[in-house]
């Protein structure tokens, strides 16, 4: 991936699209965008191959905006990021199949409530490599709460129409966001690089 990033950055710099003082920030943004695209594509491929595309799409639609706004733990390497994302996806797939009807509803309510409590307490959580300043903290706090409201609305719609696999996936997205906030805070306190 570094070679791809080097080529893109070279084109952007030589074309005058990026100033030399901004190269590190632009490169980091490109890397995140490429990783998100690769992970999303892999998740969709796995979802279609496991016949659970609607649930995975529901999960991604709730999870990605929450994670972008709330922050939290980020893996140290691209491979670890990819691996942990796939493990989360497989847990959503397993829950979608195992938790049905009443058990699914009860589990979803637990995931939503506990995830929202964690988001309310810990969002946003920065990382040692990208700490928030005071303005960013306020902005991302508001965005976190707005994203949480939209996540709950999506979950309510799924519940209203008895779409339990989609409800479970959306509720797990809220829950995992909360867990990753705790993990991020814990690593920040220990001084580890998330």
CA dist., res. 125 & res. 165, Å (int): 29
d(CA 187, CA 193): 7
Token readout for 181 is: 């906030």
Q: What is the pLDDT of residue 194?
A: 40
Please tell me the total count of domains within the chain: 2
pLDDT of residue 192: 53
Clarify whether residues 41 and 1 are in a common domain: yes
Looking at residue 191, what is its pLDDT?
62
The whole-number pLDDT of residue 51 equals 82
> Does 58 lie in the same domain as 10?
no
CA distances from 15 to 2, 19, 23, 24, 103 (A): 20, 10, 13, 17, 57
From CA 89, how far away is CA 43, in angstroms rounded?
7
Tokens at 71, concatenated: 């922050």
40 plus 75 within the same structural domain: no
Q: Is 186 found in the same domain as 114?
A: yes
Residue 161 is predicted with a pLDDT of: 93
Domain with 28, as residue range(s), is 1-49
Q: Are residues 93 and 42 in the same domain?
A: no
Is the bond preceding residue 140 a cis peptide, omega within 30 degrees? no
Give the pLDDT of the chain (194 residues) as one tens digit per residue.
778 887 888 887 878 877 877 778 788 788 878 888 888 888 888 878 878 889 889 999 999 999 989 988 888 887 888 888 889 888 888 888 887 777 888 999 999 999 999 999 999 998 777 788 899 999 999 999 999 999 999 999 999 998 989 999 999 999 999 999 999 888 877 765 44
180 shares a domain with 94? yes
Cβ neighbour number for residue 71 with a 10 Å cutoff: 26
Alpha-carbon distance 53 to 59, whole Å?
10
């Amino acid at each position: 991936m570094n070679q791809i990033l080097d080529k893109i950055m070279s084109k952007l710099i030589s074309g005058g699209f990026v100033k030399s003082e901004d190269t590190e920030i632009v490169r980091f943004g490109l890397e995140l965008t490429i990783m998100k695209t690769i992970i999303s594509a892999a998740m969709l491929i796995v979802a279609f191959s496991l016949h659970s595309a609607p649930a995975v799409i529901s999960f991604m639609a709730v999870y990605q905006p929450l994670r972008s706004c709330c922050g939290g733990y980020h893996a140290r390497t691209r491979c670890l990021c990819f691996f942990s994302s796939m493990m989360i996806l497989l847990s959503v797939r397993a829950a979608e199949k195992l938790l049905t009807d009443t058990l699914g509803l009860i589990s979803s309510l637990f995931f939503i409530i506990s995830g929202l409590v964690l988001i309310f307490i810990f969002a946003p959580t920065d990382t040692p490599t990208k700490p928030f300043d005071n303005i960013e903290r306020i902005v991302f706090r508001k965005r976190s709460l707005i994203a949480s409201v939209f996540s709950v609305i999506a979950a309510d719609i799924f519940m209203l129409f008895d779409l339990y696999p989609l409800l479970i996936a959306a509720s797990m997205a809220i829950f995992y966001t909360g867990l990753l906030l705790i993990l991020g805070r814990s690593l920040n306190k220990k001084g580890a690089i998330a």
